Structure formats: C-alpha cells, structure tokens
Amino acid sequence: MRGMETGKTRIRHQVFTEIARMAYEGGDYQKRLENLPYEIIPGEVASFRESIFHERAVVGERLRLAMGMPPRKFSEYCQISDGIEESVIAEKYYEPPLINVIKFACNKCPDNVIRVTDVCQGCLEHPCMEICPKGAIYRQNGQAHVDQEKCIKCGKCVTACPFNAIVRQERPCRKACGIKCISAGENGWATIDQNRCTSCGQCLVACPFGAISDKSQIFQTIMAIKSGTPVYVALAPAFVGQFGPDAIPGKMQASFRRLGFKDVYEVAIGADLCVIEEAEDFLKEVPEKHKFMVTSCCPSWSDLVKRMFPELSHNISVALTPMVLTARMIKEKHPGCKVCFVGPCDSKKLEASRRSVRSEVDFVLTFEEVLGMFAAKGVDKERIPMSENSALSSASSDARGFAMSGGVAAAVVNAIHRIDPTREVKVAHADGLEECKKLLLMAKAGKYDGYLLEGMACPGGCVAGAGTLQPVDKSQRAVGKFCDCAQYTCAMDTKFMEYLPLIEK
C-alpha cells in the first residue's frame, strides 16, 4: 500500500538502500553482495515465510535485479553475485525484460475463483442457490458451498448474497494488469507475456508477496557520480510530496546535491516544450492527415498503441517526450554531462534504453530507488536549507499538471487556443491500461475523429506510477498546489523556447 511501510515495501527499501551504500562505499562488491541477504534478513527465525532460507533467497533475487542483473535460473546453481562484473560499471542500459517474476516468491494465488466464506449464515432464502444458472451452489451442514466444476464464474451469487459471504478471488497481479498479460504458468507461478507487457509496473505494486520486481540502475548511477562526470537530475513533475512534507521543491536541489548530483532540472520545462510541439502537430495533422492524434508522453500508453493497435501507430504525436526534451536541453547547456531522470515511472526505464534515446538519458531511477540513496547517505531533508535560484521554479502550471490524468491534454488545448483562438479541440482521455484500451477501440471504430486522445497507463496518472511513495490522492493535492505556485500558466510563455530548435534535431 502506497504511503505505508509494509513488510514488502520495507524489504524493497532495504535492498535499494544497501545497494546504494555498497556503491558509495566501494570494496569487494562480490563479497558484500553475498553477505547482504544475511544483513537484511538477520537471525535464525523467518518473519514472513516458512523458512529464513526462503526469505534470504528472495532477497538475493531482489539484490540481483537492483544491480540490473537478471534473476537466476531456478533449476541451476548460481551465486547471487554471478555476473556482477557486468554491472559494476558506470554505464549499463536496462536489458529487457524490465519487470520480472521471482518464481519462488510467488504464492500461486487463486485466479478467478468463486468461494463461500465462513461469513455464510445458512439463511432460509439462500438467494445464491436460486440465482445460480448452473446449479453450482449446494448446502452442506447448513452452509453454502460452490461446486467448482459447475461454476462458470458469472458472479451472480456474489452480488445476491445479503451477507457478502461469497467472494471472487483473483490474482492481485493479474487484476492490476489492464491488458491481462499475466497468467498462471508452469507450476502455477505467475508468468508475464513480455510480447504484450508495456512495463507500467502496476503488477509490481499490486503483488502483496513481493514476487514481482523491476531492474534498477542505482549502482551504475552512483558509479557515474563517483567517476567525476557531472550528473544532472531531470526531476519529473510528480515529485512534489514524494519524499515527505519537508521535501519541498526549494529543498530538493540541495538534497540531490548531497547525493553527489551536480544540479536538478524540472522535467516540466521539457513538458512545456512538448506541449508546444504537440499543439503544432495537432494543428497541422488533424484532420487533414490523421483523423485524431494520440499524445506521446506516457511510454506504456504509446507502447499499447504500437503493440495492440499497430494500425493506429501513425496517429501518435511525433513530439519528443518531456524526459527526452529536458535531457537534450541539459546536455546542450552542459556538454559532456550525464542525465539521470528521476520519476514515478517504470516504463521510462525502457524508453531510455531505446537506441534513439540512449544518448540523451543515461539513467532512470524511481522515487522509491532514490529514497534508498537518501537513506544510504544519511540525508536529513529537514536540516537542508532552501535553495535559491533553483531550476525547480521555471515551468508553467500546465506543464506541472502533466503528472495527473487529463493534464497533458488540457495543456495542449490551452496552447492550441493561444496559437489559434478560433480552433475547437475535442478531447478524450483515459487512465489505467484497461480504460486506455477501451478508448482506442472506440477511436478505431471512428467515435473520436477530430479528437486529441490522452492516455496514461497508471490509474490517476503519473502520481500513481509504480515508483511512487505516497497515496495517489495525497500526491494529487501536492501537485495541484505546486501548479498554483507557477509563475505562468500556458506553455507558450516558457522562457526556454530558444532551446526548442536546438533540441528538436
């Protein structure tokens, strides 16, 4: 649960912290990595699983993924540190698959099973039995039971029970996957169809057993910092409030400098430039060349179009994403530097690993991973002074609103009206991949001709990304307040317009 320290999140944070500490301190990396499961899971008695050996084995897989390494094969002997020499470097791109199932951590949860719980009162009316179209419910010792061979999972009994005694059990990971690319594979373990997966990471958040995890570049980012190369942070608009109430924008620049970063830039600056590009793109292309336009900012959204609706891929805006535009601007201003995007999103990791983007964005870290870096360095944000002349005060309120569902489209519409006040722009947006898929099906059927379509893979927008730390509603309020503090509203008023011709190349 976001914003709550659970057993799962506690171990995730410990893993990120220890990998960051190992990178900062140096030493015998192979030996340190082999010892870390015993430091993270001390003692002799298991806390969550049936065996402490099982717990340490799962932590070992998490450590490998946090180093950017693949999980071990379940059927072959392999030390945790095997292959570490390929990760103890300052440059390492994410290698797919990004999202991985740790098989022996998977609980093999029931998937779409109707069950009667002990709450059943054995009532006289038994509406569950009467409404079942297949006669799959019977009474035994006064209580209702479900014949699983007859049950067709229609769910009528679930809604009919006045005591809510009948439930539908689903795999949390599969339920969270909007495009249903998770299934029960060999031996019942969860399996991800990587040909369909868009790496949104919602399954990672949903799994209460911590059986799904992503790869990280924490170690490589710190190695780059230690190499002396200036590394700049491109900070996503959803950052506000993620690191606690004291981690206000004025303190974030100083906080990241304590980690060794050179400086911090607001990705909303790039969002302003993206808005301008998408507005001009829409005015030129719709409806003369394309019936509608799809926004390009969310990688999982655009991947969904390309993977499941390839015939609509030409409708995706050609505008570069805010992450790429900001990175290009930083490298234009600071030749020879490296750029680390810090944000809420898992799919940005794969976007940055594309050959067309690799030279712009060197590292991608989530807020959760950066929290581990703060912990490793002992950064106390309460005692960090406010920064002056921070680059975290340079974007429009429209660009900062990119972090929330509907924000991208609203910003583009405002820019279009500034360019052509007479132009009418119709908008449709969806968040969560299931709703995004429905939106695209309707667009394919001709229901949204002339529209600007915005999709966001995470329910609620980027503030609900897999790498966030706070409850979604709390983050939405924080971002809304940050939008209100902007010096200007429309992206067309950006003071970085001069960089657009340079970074469009």
Angle, alpha carbons 194-217-250 (nearest 5°)? 120
The pLDDT, as a whole number, for residue 390 is 61
Segment holding 363, helix H or strand E: strand 363-366
Could you give the CA distance from residue 271 to residue 275 in angstroms, rounded to a whole number?
6
- 456: Cβ contacts below 8 Å, ≥ 6 apart: 298, 301, 405, 408, 429, 430, 431, 432, 436, 462
- Tell me if 170 sits within 8 A of 190, measured CB to CB: no
pLDDT profile of the chain (505 residues), mean per 10 = 87 98 97 98 92 96 97 91 92 89 94 95 95 96 96 97 97 96 92 96 96 97 97 96 82 93 95 97 96 97 97 96 96 97 96 91 97 94 69 86 97 98 97 98 98 98 97 95 94 91 69
Using DSSP, state whether 20 is helix, strand or coil.
helix
Could you give the CA distance from residue 403 to residue 427 in angstroms, rounded to a whole number?
18
- 188-194 long-range contacts (CB < 8 A, ≥24 apart) are 188/106, 188/108, 189/101, 189/103, 189/106, 189/108, 190/101, 190/106, 190/109, 191/101, 192/97, 192/99, 192/100, 192/101, 194/96, 194/97
Could you give the CA distance from residue 473 to residue 359 in angstroms, rounded to a whole number?
35
What pTM was estimated for this model as a whole? 0.95
Token pair for 431:
């968040």
The pLDDT, as a whole number, for residue 1 is 67
Q: Which of 224, 173, 228, 181 is nearest to 202 (CA)?
A: 173
Could you give the CA distance from residue 148 to residue 86 in angstroms, rounded to a whole number?
49
The pLDDT, as a whole number, for residue 248 is 77
Q: Are strands 143-146 and 137-140 parallel, antiparallel or unpaired?
A: antiparallel
The pLDDT, as a whole number, for residue 505 is 58
- 32: Cβ contacts below 8 Å, ≥ 6 apart: 22
First to last CA, the chain: 42
- Tell me if 8 sits within 8 A of 477, measured CB to CB: no
Q: Specify the DSSP class assigned to residue 461.
A: S
Domains of the chain: 7-108+173-219 (3.30.70.20), 113-169 (3.30.70.20)
